[in-house]
């Protein structure tokens, strides 16, 4: 049963140079208890997508089109007050660069307790502290550090505290935006393992945002590849990883080490993503694509279904399939 269904979502920003098309026509669905990873280069719209689902866009941000159905209800028709009830209790977000989001003047225990009180006022102090203790245990933080201030924590500990805070209200969906980017590889691996057990033990659904396709493939059931504001390939992890079909996905896969750690094939993707204020009419990747033909530049891309669960936005893939 789908917990989240996003249909034809387009989001942009008013800028001094004009309207910037940050997310264009994105559709996907996420079942309860499953994880979906969004991957793509810097600026492709991953954070904008997450912020739109949370309805936390900055004042110049605008959801131009689409529907965001959460538990069957369209979040775009909710009032601000209704969204406040849903945010953190139902959908929590671990923000990009969240490590610095802890308030430096309050003890970590008080910040997490505050989050619990705000959304579950019926809890008494002992119950709330008991819950914080359980959360600390779950995210692998030592109980005797609960009363520390954030500056007494390492980066990895801060990130775990942020995850504990996101879990405090037992949300159904967590959107984790690059939660491990600033951490060293060992701590990153530990947090990825915890993310997996989050799903096993809490049954929470996760949207995991990263520029690293190997991380997303490690922890997510489904993968959405984004390029210049569009979803360009979408499918089950094995399908996208074993049979990458969009030339951008192929390039992305060869620009990261494989899951087994082989690095010999590392290939940067030449060129730059297009300007999103005036995006190209045809395929947005065509200028950098080694497989592009004239029609790719002159016609908008079309979705091709490779399997019922794997689709790709590309002219060339259709030709290869004998269209």
Ligand X SMILES: Nc1ncnc2c1ncn2[C@@H]1O[C@H](COP(=O)(O)OP(=O)(O)OP(=O)(O)O)[C@@H](O)[C@H]1O
Applying CB under 6 A, the span of 46-54, 108-116, 121-129, 146-154 interacting with ligand X comes to 46-54
User: Is residue 15 near ligand X by the rule CB under 6 A?
Assistant: yes
Q: CB of 60: closest distance to ligand X in angstroms?
A: 5
Contacts 24+ apart (CB under 8 A), 15-23: 15/60, 15/277, 17/277, 18/277, 18/278, 19/277, 20/276, 20/277, 21/229, 21/276, 21/277, 21/279, 22/48, 22/61, 22/229, 22/276, 23/48, 23/49, 23/52, 23/229
Stretch that binds ligand X, among 29-37, 38-46, 185-193, 194-202 (CB under 6 A): 38-46
- Cα(191)–Cα(194) distance, integer angstroms: 5
Does residue 42 bind ligand X (CB under 6 A)?
A: yes
Selected binder of ligand X within 9, 10, 13, 171 (CB under 6 A): 13
Tell me the site size for ligand X, rule CB under 6 A. 17
How far apart are CB 316 and ligand X at their closest, in Å?
A: 24
Q: Does 276 bind ligand X (CB under 6 A)?
A: yes
**Token pair 């997310």 is at which residue?**
23
User: CA nearest 47: which of 288, 182, 226, 218?
Assistant: 226
Residues touching Mg ion, count (CB under 5 A): 2
Query: What phi and psi values does residue 222 have, to the nearest 5 degrees?
Result: -125, 155
Contact flags string 93-112 toward Mg ion, x per CB under 5 A: ---x----------------
Q: Any contact of residue 47 with Mg ion (CB under 5 A)?
A: yes
Q: What angle do CA 295, 300, 305 make, to 5 degrees?
A: 95
Q: Encode 203-254 in three state secondary structure.
A: CCEEEEEECCHHHHHHHCCEEEEEECCEEEEEEEHHHHHHCCCCHHHHHHHH
Q: Which H/E stretch holds residue 69?
A: strand 61-70
If the CB atoms of residues 136 and 248 are measured against ligand X, the closer one turns out to be: 248
CB-based contact 21:62 (threshold 8 Å) = no
Q: Closest approach of Cβ 143 to ligand X, in Å? A: 34
Picked from ligand X, Mg ion, none, the partner binding residue 315 (CB below 5 to 8 A depending on kind) is: none
CB-nearer residue toward Mg ion: 89 or 181: 181
The answer to whether residue 17 forms part of the interface with ligand X (CB under 6 A) is no
Return the one option of Mg ion, ligand X, none that residue 276 interacts with (CB less than 5 to 8 A, by type). ligand X
Is 194:206 a contact under the CB 8 Å cutoff? no
The SS3 assignment for 135 reads helix
Within its chain, how far is the Cα of 83 from the centroid?
Answer: 19
What binding mask, one character per residue, do residues 56-85 give for ligand X by CB under 6 A, x or -? --x-x-------------------------
Letters for 198-227 (x = contact with ligand X by CB under 6 A, - = none) are -------------x----------------
Distance CA 41, CA 20 (A): 17
How far out from the chain centre does Cα 104 lie? 26
Among 4, 6, 9, 22, binds ligand X (CB under 6 A): 22
Task: Report the C-alpha gap between 137 and 129 in whole angstroms.
Answer: 12
Q: Give the nearer residue to ligand X in terms of CB position, either 60 or 265.
A: 60
Nearer residue to ligand X within complex by CB, 44 or 128 = 44
Which residues bind to ligand X, rule: CB under 6 A?
13, 15, 20, 22, 40, 42-48, 58, 60, 96, 211, 276
Which residues bind to Mg ion, rule: CB under 5 A?
47, 96
């Amino acid at each position: 049963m789908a917990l989240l269904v996003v249909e034809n979502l387009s989001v942009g920003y008013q800028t001094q140079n004009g309207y910037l098309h940050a997310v264009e026509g994105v559709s996907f669905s996420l079942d309860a208890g499953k994880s979906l990873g969004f991957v793509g280069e810097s600026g492709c719209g991953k954070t904008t997508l997450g912020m739109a689902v949370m309805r936390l866009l900055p004042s110049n941000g605008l959801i131009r089109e689409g529907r965001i159905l959460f538990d069957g209800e369209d979040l775009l028709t909710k009032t601000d007050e209704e969204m406040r009830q849903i945010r953190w209790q139902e959908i929590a977000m671990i923000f990009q660069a969240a490590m610095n989001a802890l308030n430096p003047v309050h003890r970590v225990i008080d910040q997490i307790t505050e989050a619990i009180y705000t959304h579950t006022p019926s809890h008494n102090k002992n119950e709330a502290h008991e819950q914080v203790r359980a959360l600390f245990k779950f995210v692998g933080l030592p109980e005797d550090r609960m009363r520390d201030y954030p500056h007494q924590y390492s980066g990895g500990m801060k990130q775990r505290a942020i995850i504990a805070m996101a879990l405090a209200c037992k949300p159904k969906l967590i959107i984790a935006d690059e939660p491990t980017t600033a951490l060293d590889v060992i701590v990153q691996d530990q947090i990825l393992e915890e993310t997996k057990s989050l799903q096993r033990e809490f049954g929470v659904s996760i949207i995991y945002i990263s520029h690293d396709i190997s991380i997303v493939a490690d922890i997510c059931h489904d993968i959405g590849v984004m390029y210049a504001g569009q979803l360009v390939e979408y499918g089950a992890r094995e399908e996208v990883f074993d049979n990458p079909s969009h030339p951008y996905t192929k390039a992305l896969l060869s620009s990261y080490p494989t899951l087994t750690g082989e690095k010999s094939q590392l290939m940067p993707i030449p060129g730059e993503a297009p300007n999103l204020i005036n995006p190209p009419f045809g395929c947005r990747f065509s200028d950098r694509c080694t497989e592009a033909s004239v029609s790719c530049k002159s016609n908008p891309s079309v979705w091709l279904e490779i399997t019922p669960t794997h689709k790709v936005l590309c002219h060339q893939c259709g030709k290869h399939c004998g269209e």
